[in-house]
Amino acid sequence: MTDLVVDCRGVSRTYGDGVPVRALDSVDFQVRRGEFVSLSGPSGSGKSTLLNLIGGLDRPTRGEVRVDGELLNALSEPALADLRLHKLGFVFQAYNLIPVLSARENVEFILQLQGVGAAERRRRALEMLEALGLAGLSDRRPGELSGGQQQRVAIARAIVTRPVLLLADEPSANLDSVTTEELLKLLRDLNETQGLTIVTATHDPLVMSYSRRKVKLRDGAVVDDAVVVPV
Amino acid sequence: MPVGLLVSLSARNLFRHRRRNAMLLAAIAVAVAGVTVLNSLVRGMQEDMRDAAVGNLTGHVKVLAPGYRDDPGIMHRFLPGEDWKNAVPGDALAGWAARVVVPAVIMSERETRGLQLVGVNPARESISFLADVPVLGERLNGPGDNRILVGRALADQLETDVGYRVVVITRGADGSTREAGFRVAGIFDADGTALEKAYAFTGLHYVQSLLGTGEVTELSLRLRDDAVTDAVVRDLRARLADLRVLSWQELEPQAAAMYALADTAIYIWFLVMMGALIFGLVNTLITAVMERTRELGMLRAVGMQRGAVLVQVVLESALVMAAGVALGLAAGALLTWMLRDGIDLSRWAAGAELARMSSRLVPRLLPGDLALLAAMSLGFGVLASLYPAWRAVKIEPLEAMRR
């Protein structure tokens, strides 16, 4: 097992056919197992693009992206989907829970995609919800939960499969500061106690303050990369 | 592929927009119910036409002497023998009758008419309309009966009645003219005037003695199931190589053509209804897919394969179609049951007779038709979902998540 969970070398991503816009320009970026990294920078700096490339949701124009040793450039579309399912966990800005499923079913559904048996996935989903303080809310649908509770369910869904890497894109964008802080404590706890590797793209200084490594991007390039002691 | 998950997701998605999907369900149910009722009426009409054609002395299969169809007369006669019975499985045969059918002139004191004089054994005529037709006066009592049974329309033309005498002139087996007087035993009242004017019946043995022969001009077979007609015709042709064996479709081509046309009409009507319905279904599914672009993008982002997304949309269509078809079939069956006594067509009796139908149209619901209708509807449902499913599959997770 490689110690590098993420290994991007000379990664560029250009959009558009007419006048091309370079979102990332020859970026080298590595993440070791157990790190909690925040990618920050102004809009258009390339942080979300980098996150999407690591998540296999986009392909680089140039350079190589490896996740847990696998070269994503070489993977077919189904193989990328398979990698996302088995190795990555996603937390999105807008939670993106399935509204017709309860909290437990939202967590279970990703295990169901993996082919885990009914009893096993139910047990794991309930354990995960309980661990995230949602034990009494497992039968509620997303519409019956607060923003913070929905984001916790989204985290439960992302980590119930025990992913190699958790990717969070602006996870606090729709949360108030109190809820954001609760969420960040939860992420830090997962990082410290379970060794979960986390990479998050954010504008939010609070989120950055909880990460142990801050990477700043500007105009598609890494301009600062510092390991810090979290608050 | 997690089929259970996909079915569950698809089923629950249908409850997201209850009113919209309820409208769609109602439209499918009404269309399917309409097709079911129409199908049962057309089947009833078809059976009516076929029964009329078969019951009109034709039977499912008829054996004739060569040349009889071109020149129907006693010159073209044969002895049926017993060998033909080996060609028809015992359980397939509902009945048979050997007859002499010859052209003749019938005269009363006032009028003269041309018709077909038919010598029958009344005991064997359970296979033709003669068994059930209402008769004023008496029926023939056996193959030796020397009285005559005429139709109501012919009796009116001849201005004759039960108990009166008529004279029949025809040609004998030796080619000479034969003439005989008959007392009218009864007057039959068939469904429509064509049969009443075309045929007059007397005892088979009496006609044979009048014509100077022991042979017959036709052997008519009534089968229990029309589906075996072609097989029986093939077997009989092999055994009776010197005779002509014809199916009812060959003997009554007009009725057979209308029978086949009715089959086509059912499918055309079905296609029209389903075609109209498909636009509504496609529209609803595309709307549902577009509304869920973000969600479908998320599903793809977390690792759901394109094939699973496609199956999910197809399942949604199949589920709503299945529910609509079930409701529609139930409603159609109920409506058909309510029409079980038939629809009175006597106001259009002339038209009905022209189409060789009786004056009461009784709907017929065939299990095979219901199964076919259900299967074809589901097939159309799946077909209708392919374009929306393709749209769903084309959703790129990254693009969808940015919305």
In this prediction, residue B268 carries a pLDDT of 86
How would DSSP label each residue in B220-283?
EEEES-GGGHHHHHHHHHHH-TTSEEEEHHHH-HHHHHHHHHHHHHHHHHHHHHHHHHHHHHHH
Q: Which of A26-40, B22-36, B77-91 has the lowest mean pLDDT?
A: B77-91
Tell me how far CA of residue B390 lies from CA of A200, B135, B158, in angstroms: 33, 68, 75
- pLDDT score recorded for residue B354: 56
Q: Is residue B340's pLDDT more than 80? A: yes
Q: Are B20 and B326 in contact (CB under 8 A)?
A: no
Q: Which residue of A55, A113, A115 is in closest CB contact with B304?
A: A113
pLDDT at A1 over 60: no
Tokens of B157: 């033309």
Q: What sign for the dihedral angle of Cα B103, B104, B105, B109?
A: negative
B224 interfacial to chain A (CB closer than 8 Å): no
Higher pLDDT, A178 or B357: A178
Name which residue leads in pLDDT, A179 or B203.
Answer: B203
Subunit contact B2:A96, Cβ cutoff 8 A: no
pLDDT confidence tier of residue A231, bands split at 50, 70 and 90: very low
| B300–chain A Cβ distance below 8 A for any pair | yes
User: Closest partner residue to B305 among A52, A81, A115, by Cβ?
Assistant: A81
Q: Does B70 touch chain A (CB under 8 A)?
A: no
Check: CB of residue B320 under 8 Å from CB of residue B381: yes
Residues of A in contact with B301 (CB under 8 A): 55, 57, 84, 90, 92
Q: Report CA torsion sign: A110, A113, A115, A119.
A: positive
Q: Averaged over B67-87, what is the pLDDT? A: 89
Structure confidence by residue, pLDDT tens digits, B85-100: 887 877 889 999 999 9
AA letter at A224 = D
pLDDT tier for residue B359 given thresholds of 50, 70 and 90: low
pLDDT > 90? residue B2: no
Query: What is the complex's ipTM, to 2 decimals?
Result: 0.86
State the DSSP code for B391. H
Interface test with B, best of A67, A88, A92, A122 (most B CBs within 10 A): A92
Instruction: State residue B8's pLDDT score.
Output: 82
Reported as a single tens digit per residue, the pLDDT across B234-279 is: 999 988 889 999 999 998 888 888 888 888 888 888 888 888 888 8
In order of B62, B64, B103, the CA distances from B217 in angstroms are 10, 6, 12
Residue (of B359, B377, B357, B279) closest to B36 by Cα position:
B377
- pLDDT score of A122: 93
Radius of gyration for the alpha carbons in chain A, expressed in angstroms and rounded:
17
Q: How far apart are CA B173 and CA B385, in angstroms?
A: 71
Query: pLDDT tens digits for B148-203?
Result: 999 999 999 999 999 999 999 999 999 999 999 999 999 999 877 888 999 999 99
Instruction: Tell which residue, A214, A193, A219, has the closest CA to residue A29.
Output: A214
pLDDT of res. B190: 87
Average pLDDT, chain B: 88
Whether A81 contacts B303, CB under 8 Å = yes
- Three-state secondary structure call for residue B178: strand
Residue A51: name the closest of A35, A71, A75, A67 by CA: A67
- Determine the pLDDT at residue B355: 57
B163 in contact with A, Cβ within 8 Å = no
- Structure-token pair, residue B308: 């699973």
pLDDT tens string B106-120: 999 999 999 999 999
According to DSSP, the residues that pair with B240 across neighbouring strands are: none
Q: Which of A15, A104, A109 to mutate to test the interface with B (most CBs of B within 10 A)?
A: A109
Q: Give B26→chain A minimum CA distance, Å.
A: 23
Average pLDDT on A98-118 reads 90
- φ/ψ region of A58 (left if φ > 0, alpha if ψ in -120 to 50, else beta) reads beta
Residue with tokens 């049951």: B337
Q: Closest to B5 (Cβ–Cβ): which among A81, A90, A109?
A: A109
Write the pLDDT tens digit of every residue in B388-402: 888 888 888 877 776
Exposed e or buried b per residue across B260-273, where buried means at least 16 C-beta atoms within 10 angstroms of its C-beta: eebeebbeeebeeb
pLDDT of residue B255: 81
For residue A84, the chain B residues in CB contact (below 8 A) are 301-303
Q: Is the pTM of this model over 0.90?
A: no
Q: Identify the weakest region by mean pLDDT among A162-171, B43-52, B339-348.
A: B339-348
- Report whether pLDDT(A64) > 90: yes
B18-53 helix and B253-291 helix, angle to the nearest 10 degrees: 170
Those of residues 102-131 in A touching chain B at CB distance below 8 A are 109-110, 112-113, 115
Determine whether the interchain pair B294/A77 forms a contact, defined as Cβ–Cβ distance below 8 Å.
no
**Quick one: pLDDT at residue B403?**
63
Question: What is the mean predicted confidence (pLDDT) over A3-17?
Answer: 91
